Structure formats: C-alpha cells, structure tokens
Amino acid sequence: MGNPLPRWPELRELTRHRTLAFLRQPEAVFWVFAFPMVLAAVLGFAFQGGERAPSVVGMLAGDPAWRAALEADELIEVEVYATREEADQRLRGGHVDLLALGDGERPDLRLDPVRAEAELARLRVLVAIGELAPLEIEKVEEKGSRYVDFLFPGLLGMNLMGTGLWAIGFAVADMRQRKVLKRLLVTPMRRASFLASFMLSRLLFLFGEVVLLTAFGVWVLDIPLRANLLVFGALCTLGAVGFAGLGLLAASRVKTIEGVSGMLNLVMMPMWLGSGVFFTYERFPEVIQPVLRALPLTALNDALRATMLDGAGFGGILPELTVLVIWTVLPFVVALKIFRWA
Amino acid sequence: MTQLALKATGLVKRFGDLVAVNGLDLEVRAGTCLALLGPNGAGKTTAIEMIEGLQRPDEGTIEVLGRTWKSDANGIRERIGVQLQETRLQEKVTARETLTLFASFYDETRDLDEVLEMVGMTEKKDARVENLSGGQHQRLTLACALVSDPDLLFLDEPTTGLDPQARRRVWEIVETFKSGGGSVLLTTHYMEEAERLADEVVIVDAGKMIARGTPASVIGDLHADSIVELFPKEGGLDRLTDAALLALPGVTEVRREGATYTLVVDDTQASVASLLTHLNEVGVELHSLQTHAPTLEDVFVALTGKHLRDG
C-alpha cells in the first residue's frame, strides 16, 4: 500500500486540480452555491406567516340578528348564498369553513368538526356573537420560531450532504471511467495524498458554501445564528467530511457515472424524506424514529437547529456528534478497504 | 553483457477459463525498443499491464530496471513513464496544469517547458484539455509519461485512432526519447509502427509468442522476395486452383481470401512471368495485380492465417 501519509506537493497539486476543475464548470458552481440560496429564499418567503387568515363563514341570504356581529369581526369573512344547495356545495368543496344557518338569536352551525379550520371558525363565531370571552394572549414574535427558521438549517444540512456526496462520488467515478485513476496508479503518487486531496478540496468549497448560505440566511431571511461560531463551524466541517466519506464509499467500486448516480440517489433518498429537512421527522411513526435519528443527515439537521436556533454548545449536541463521527469514520474506513483503483 | 531494462519470464495471466497471456518471455535491452505486435485481444495489454504493476501475474517473474514490484515498487514507479490505452485527462484544466500535476508525483522531474517543447505542445500549453485534438491529447499523455525523465517508457497502442500525420508526430517523439538513451516497450497492432520504432519485435497471438527478432530478421524468416496479390475479374477465381498456382516457379505459399489470391514468392521476376502465362492459359482476366515487399503483417498472416487488424 505504500506510505500512509500524504505528501504536500502532490496533495497541493491534486487539490488545485480538483478546485480548478470545479470552478471552471459554471453549472456545477451554480448548483452548489446559488441553487440552495434560491431554494431557501423561495421556500422561506412562501411560508413566511404574515397576517392571520380569516375564517370563511357561509350563510343564506337574509338578515338574522347575528349577521352584523359576524360581518363586523375582522377574523371572519362572510359569504352569502342564494340557496341551501349552493351553500352545502361550497362547504363540501372546502371553500367555506362552516355554514351559519337559521334566523334565531344564535346561528345553527353546520361543519365538519374533524377539520381544524372548521373548529377554528366555530370558536371565532362564538367570540364574535359574544358567547365566548377572549382571554388575554401574548404574541410570540421572536426570531427562531417561524417556519423559515426551521427550514433553513435543514437546507444547509441537505446542501452539505448533496455537495459532499456528489463532489466526491461523481469525481471518483469520472476519473475511474476516464482511466485516470489507473494512470495515477503507475506513478509514485501516494494513495493517501489522492484521498486527502478530495477531503481538502471539499473543505475549501465547504467554507465558501457555508459562509455564503449562512450569510444569506442571516441577513436576507433574518435567521438567528445563536451558536458559538466555533461550534457551528466544527459541526459543518464534521458534516461535510462525513458525507465526503460516504461519497467515497458510494463511488468506491462503481465503474460509470450512471452507476454512481443511482448509488447516490439510493443513499440520499431516505434522508431527503426522513431526516427532517422540510418538516419534522417526528410526524413519522414511532417505530421508525430511532432509525431516522441514526441517519447522518438527521443528526446534522438536529444539531444545526440546536446550534443556530437555540445556541447549543458541544455539550448540547453530543448524541448528534456521536452519530456523525460514526458516519464519518466507518464509511471512510470501509471505502479505503474496498476501493477499486484500476 | 548487455544491460536489460526489462526482463519478464514465463508470464501467465488467466481470467476464469480464458488464458489471456500464456507463458510470455520478454526482454528489453537498455536503449532499445521492443514492440509487442499482435491483433486486438492477443493479450498485449494484459502483458504490458502486468509489467507496469497494474495487474498481478498468475505465474512468472518480472524485473524492471533491476528491481522487482515486490521489493521496490516505488523505485520502479519513479523511473518508468507510462502511457495507457484510452486515458482521457481531466477536461477543464490546461495542458501545462496537467503536466504540473504529474510532475508533483516525482522526486525528480524535467523542466516542464522542455517537455512541452519535446512533444510539440508549447503553443497549446495554455489550452484546456477539452479543446485539444486527438493527436494533441495523445502527445500530452506522452508528456505526462516523459515528465519524470524515465529510463523506461511503456506505450500501449500509442497511435490507435490517430490520423497518419498525428501518428508520425508520436513516432518522432518516441524516436527522440530513444536517441537520448531511453528504453521502450510498445504494444501495437500497426505493423508500420513496429517496423519504424522497434529494434526487436515479439509477435503475439492468443497470449503466446509466435515469432521474435529484429523486424528484418522476422520478415527474412518468411523467405519471401515479395508478396503478389491478384484480383481476377468475375468468374476467373473458379478457374484457379491452389495446386496449380503452387506449382509455378518461385511460389512458396498460396492463400485465397474472398475474391483475392495472395502468393508468397521467392523469385519475383520468374514467378510473375509464369503467373501471367498461366492466367492466359486458363483464360483469367485480371482487375489488378500487385506486388509488394513482405511486411510484418505478411509474417503474421503466414503464421496465423489471420490479419493483424481482424481483432
């Protein structure tokens, strides 16, 4: 196997080679750096809360005593229908949350109590006609509790996973397919230098990736960054290196670009769905939650949220760090063992 | 005693039931070029890759520049230059950047601009690999093999797929390397390439050596003055027989392939004269008749009944 330590001149040149090859592909640069920002912006703005949406209450034409009270309430929007058939049909289609019927002192309500919106509309109607006194409330307005605050660390984690796996897996498969790996094997180049160059170039890009994305999140989307920057940086580095190892493993034996694409999708698919990028994985059945929590992206996302949103230190993310370290060491060791050079 | 740059004995490599290399002995004297000549699938690449340390032989010993792969693999790698078949270099970097990368692997290297000059890539040194022609790309991979100033150069089918002009430029570079005292092991299925570059050829078929020697001596073993090929007009072929042609003076071998008869003759003038008489007698009209001096291709055909390019 030769000397296990990388040598600096060849490590430097291999890393430079990787970096140049990446930077000279504008489309690759776009997908790594610009796309996540676009995605974060679009999703962030789309799900930004803003005003409270009013409940839609349907009624029949007429002027019962309670009508004025409903119309005066800004949280209720009244729709008036000419016939009962039309009203029922609008209710079935979900265009109105409930129907207020009858011309007595108080309306008779027709609704599907299973729908949360219907229940909300019922309570608002009760408040509007004075049947229910509103309690004092304190509005939650601090940063860190909006959907975009939940989403952003997940996107950052997903990006670290995607670029780590693709950058390494794709490059290795490409070099194998082009017979460049084989060509390198007949030089005195140390294999350790070769593998280290992937890690090093990955860390260079990681720096740009994390700084750019985080700066965008903090300044444009107003995401809190409450963590100690050292903890945050170390966490991102660990995540990136871990996924680089996984990328190396995925590409350790595949012979073609097509092969590695399939392999990487296989690796990433469960994590896109189950690692809490877009919504919390706690919605999945109880039985599979331990499995989900053992996935590297779940650990990274949880740890990123804890550090960014809650300002956790190393102590607060110890279980996640443990999972990440295992996912960093194991694939790398296995990849080294089974790696196919020629 | 002549110094050997390479000595391989009894090389055997099996892939399942297929014996790719079946007991091959190779020697390259220092400062000379040995060509492994044979059709595709003859085991040339397997043989050269075993010697390069890329594949492990099932049997046999290999000594490269006085070292073995077991005792001093890196010592060998420092002193050899290799051009593999079908390496496609990273496209987004320039020729000079590629060469700089390869130079970084070696303890000692030549001056990069000197190497670029040697392979005629000085003007293209800042061009990205993706913008190089096939010939330029091939010369760049040669430069990568030469950057360490190797003692022994391995070339696996170095001009396959190149146009004649690009091929000649590759040959010139190899000749320059040789004139500086370098040794070369070359595989090829182009007999012109072997005749031009090799001091010695080993003709291989189905993993075995079937002839060896200098190009001239191997061709000389055919005992042929020239090769005569006749292309009779429609219907003429049936009026010719192997026996009748073989009975003509000077004809030592007769072969019919499709619409062509090929004769190996040891007295061109006598044979052609009596051949024309014979053709008149049996009433065969010719499209054409060609004679040429025997080549390594003719040797291969004579020994195997196949052509080098049949694959």
Residue B116: the pLDDT is 96
The tens digit of pLDDT for each residue in B35-46 reads 999 988 889 999
Indicate if B176 and B275 belong to the same structural domain: no
The tens digit of pLDDT for each residue in B20-68 reads 999 999 999 999 999 999 988 889 999 999 999 999 999 999 999 999 9
Nearest residue in chain A measured CA to CA from B85: A179
Indicate if A24 and A80 belong to the same structural domain: no
- Does the structure show a pLDDT above 50 at A1? no
Indicate if A79 and A201 belong to the same structural domain: no
Determine contact: A189 vs chain B, CB below 8 A: yes
CA distance A142 to A114: 31
Q: Report chain B residues whose CB lies below 8 A from the CB of A185.
A: 53-54
Please indicate, yes or no, if residue A138 is contained in any of the structural domains. no
CA distance B50 to B187: 13
**Do strands A55-60 and A76-81 pair parallel, antiparallel, or not at all (unpaired)?**
parallel
Tokens for A340, please give them. Answer: 């196919």
Is the four-CA dihedral B165, B170, B171, B176 of positive or negative sign? positive
Indicate if B145 and B158 belong to the same structural domain: yes
Last residue of one domain, picked from the residues A128, A160, A186? A128
Q: Inter-chain contact A182–B87, Cβ cutoff 8 Å?
A: yes
Nearest CB partner across the interface for A179, out of B52, B84, B105: B84
Q: Which amino acid is at A122?
A: R
**CA–CA min distance A188, chain B (Å):** 5
Please indicate, yes or no, if residue A261 is contained in any of the structural domains. yes
Last residue of one domain, picked from the residues B182, B202, B219? B219
Indicate if A190 and A85 belong to the same structural domain: no
Residue B311: the pLDDT is 47
- Domain extent at residue B68: 4-219
Instruction: Name the residue among A258, A206, A213 with its Cα closest to residue A236.
Output: A206
Question: Looking up tokens 């279980």, which residue turns up?
Answer: A319
Is the four-CA dihedral B218, B223, B227, B230 of positive or negative sign? negative
Nearest CB partner across the interface for B92, out of A13, A21, A186: A21
Nearest residue in chain A measured CA to CA from B156: A183
- Does the structure show a pLDDT above 90 at B158? yes
Q: What percent of chain B has pLDDT over 90?
A: 74
Nearest CB partner across the interface for A186, out of B53, B97, B128: B53
Residue B310: the pLDDT is 62
Q: Which amino acid is at B151?
A: D
The secondary structure of residue B159, as a DSSP letter, is: T
CA distance B64 to B9: 12
Please indicate, yes or no, if residue A34 is contained in any of the structural domains. yes
Please indicate, yes or no, if residue B283 is contained in any of the structural domains. yes
| Residue B85 near residue A17 (C-beta atoms within 8 A) | no
Determine contact: A5 vs chain B, CB below 8 A: no
Residue B224: the pLDDT is 86
B286-292, strands of its sheet edge to edge: B251-257, B260-265, B226-232, B286-292
Q: Which has the minimum average pLDDT: A1-15, A283-297, B1-15?
A: A1-15
Torsion over CA of A299, A302, A304 and A307, rounded to 10 degrees? Answer: -120
Nearest residue in chain B measured CA to CA from A9: B104
**CA–CA min distance B17, chain A (Å):** 22
Q: How confident is the model at residue A341 (pLDDT cuts 50, 70, 90)?
A: confident
Backbone angles phi, psi at A22, to 5 degrees: -75, -50
Please indicate, yes or no, if residue B306 is contained in any of the structural domains. no
Last residue of one domain, picked from the residues A80, A99, A128? A128
Q: How confident is the model at residue B3 (pLDDT cuts 50, 70, 90)?
A: confident
Nearest residue in chain B measured CA to CA from A187: B77
| Residue B254 near residue B301 (C-beta atoms within 8 A) | no
Q: How far is CA A45 from the centre of its chain?
A: 15
Indicate if B202 and B230 belong to the same structural domain: no
Nearest CB partner across the interface for A187, out of B55, B102, B141: B102
Q: Total structural domains in chain A? A: 2
Task: Give the CATH number of the domain where residue B229 resides.
Answer: 3.30.70.100
Task: Give the CATH number of the domain where residue B121 resides.
Answer: 3.40.50.300
Query: Mean pLDDT score of chain B, rounded to an integer?
Result: 92
The tens digit of pLDDT for each residue in A271-323 reads 988 898 888 888 888 899 999 999 999 999 999 999 998 888 898 899 999 99
What lies within 8 Å, CB to CB, of A113 at 6+ separation is A119
Q: Inter-chain contact B90–A21, Cβ cutoff 8 Å?
A: yes
C-alpha separations of A224 from A40, A146, A154, A220, A236 in Å: 14, 11, 14, 11, 16
Please indicate, yes or no, if residue B107 is contained in any of the structural domains. yes
Q: Between helices A191-219 and A35-46, what is the axis angle to 10°?
A: 30
Please indicate, yes or no, if residue B310 is contained in any of the structural domains. no
- Does the structure show a pLDDT above 50 at B98? yes
Indicate if B275 and B140 belong to the same structural domain: no
Indicate if B59 and B130 belong to the same structural domain: yes
Indicate if A157 and A203 belong to the same structural domain: yes
Please indicate, yes or no, if residue B147 is contained in any of the structural domains. yes
Q: Which of B67, B101, B129, B153 to mutate to test the interface with A (most CBs of A within 10 A)?
A: B101
Task: Give the CATH number of the domain where residue A80 resides.
Answer: 3.40.190.10
Q: Which has the minimum average pLDDT: A39-53, B133-147, B159-173?
A: A39-53
Q: Total structural domains in chain B? A: 2
Nearest CB partner across the interface for A188, out of B87, B101, B105: B105
Instruction: Name the residue among A236, A278, A238, A251 with its Cα closest to residue A165.
Output: A251
Please indicate, yes or no, if residue B307 is contained in any of the structural domains. no
Query: Which position has the higher pLDDT, A45 or A158?
Result: A158
Last residue of one domain, picked from the residues B161, B195, B219? B219
Q: Inter-chain contact A14–B104, Cβ cutoff 8 Å?
A: yes
Q: Tell me the average pLDDT across B106-132.
A: 94
**CA–CA min distance B208, chain A (Å):** 25
Residue A256: the pLDDT is 87
Indicate if A205 and A242 belong to the same structural domain: yes
| Residue B132 near residue B124 (C-beta atoms within 8 A) | yes
| Residue B267 near residue B238 (C-beta atoms within 8 A) | no
Q: What percent of chain A has pLDDT over 70?
A: 96
Last residue of one domain, picked from the residues A96, A128, A160? A128
Please indicate, yes or no, if residue A136 is contained in any of the structural domains. no
- Does the structure show a pLDDT above 70 at A142? no
Residue A2: the pLDDT is 54
Indicate if B112 and B165 belong to the same structural domain: yes
Question: Looking up tokens 């700084």, which residue turns up?
Answer: A211
Residue B222: the pLDDT is 85
Indicate if B156 and B241 belong to the same structural domain: no
Indicate if A70 and A186 belong to the same structural domain: no
Indicate if A60 and A43 belong to the same structural domain: no
Indicate if A243 and A323 belong to the same structural domain: yes
| Residue A125 near residue A107 (C-beta atoms within 8 A) | yes
Nearest residue in chain B measured CA to CA from A25: B92
Q: How confident is the model at residue B74 (pLDDT cuts 50, 70, 90)?
A: very high
The ipTM (two decimal places) reads: 0.87
| Residue A248 near residue A172 (C-beta atoms within 8 A) | yes
Q: Where are the alpha helices (DSSP H) in chain A?
A: 8-23, 26-29, 35-46, 67-72, 84-92, 116-128, 147-177, 180-185, 191-219, 229-250, 257-274, 289-293, 296-310, 318-338
Residue A181: the pLDDT is 92
- Domain extent at residue A240: 8-47+146-338
Indicate if A261 and A120 belong to the same structural domain: no
Nearest CB partner across the interface for A183, out of B53, B80, B84: B84
Indicate if A233 and A181 belong to the same structural domain: yes
Indicate if B154 and B282 belong to the same structural domain: no
Nearest CB partner across the interface for B104, out of A10, A175, A185: A10
Query: Which position has the higher pLDDT, B225 or A137?
Result: B225
Indicate if A203 and A276 belong to the same structural domain: yes
Indicate if B71 and B204 belong to the same structural domain: yes
Q: Inter-chain contact B54–A185, Cβ cutoff 8 Å?
A: yes
Q: How confident is the model at residue A182 (pLDDT cuts 50, 70, 90)?
A: very high
Helix, strand, coil shares, percent, chain B, to 5: 35, 30, 35
Determine contact: A131 vs chain B, CB below 8 A: no
Determine contact: A20 vs chain B, CB below 8 A: yes
Residue A323: the pLDDT is 95
Q: Which amino acid is at B111?
A: D
Q: Tell me the average pLDDT across B160-176.
A: 92
- Does the structure show a pLDDT above 60 at A99? yes
- Does the structure show a pLDDT above 90 at B1? no
- Does the structure show a pLDDT above 80 at A159? yes
Determine contact: A255 vs chain B, CB below 8 A: no
Please indicate, yes or no, if residue A172 is contained in any of the structural domains. yes
Indicate if A279 and A196 belong to the same structural domain: yes
Nearest CB partner across the interface for B93, out of A2, A17, A182: A17
Q: Inter-chain contact B104–A342, Cβ cutoff 8 Å?
A: no
Q: Inter-chain contact B74–A188, Cβ cutoff 8 Å?
A: yes
Q: Which amino acid is at A219?
A: W
Indicate if B186 and B230 belong to the same structural domain: no
Q: Report chain B residues whose CB lies below 8 A from the CB of A25.
A: 92
Q: Tell me the average pLDDT across B180-191.
A: 94
Indicate if B138 and B67 belong to the same structural domain: yes
Determine contact: A84 vs chain B, CB below 8 A: no
| Residue A251 near residue A336 (C-beta atoms within 8 A) | no
Indicate if B232 and B211 belong to the same structural domain: no
Work out the burial of residue B67: count CB atoms within 10 Å of its CB; fewer than 13 is exposed, 13-18 middle, 19 or more buried: middle
Q: Tell me the average pLDDT across B265-285.
A: 91
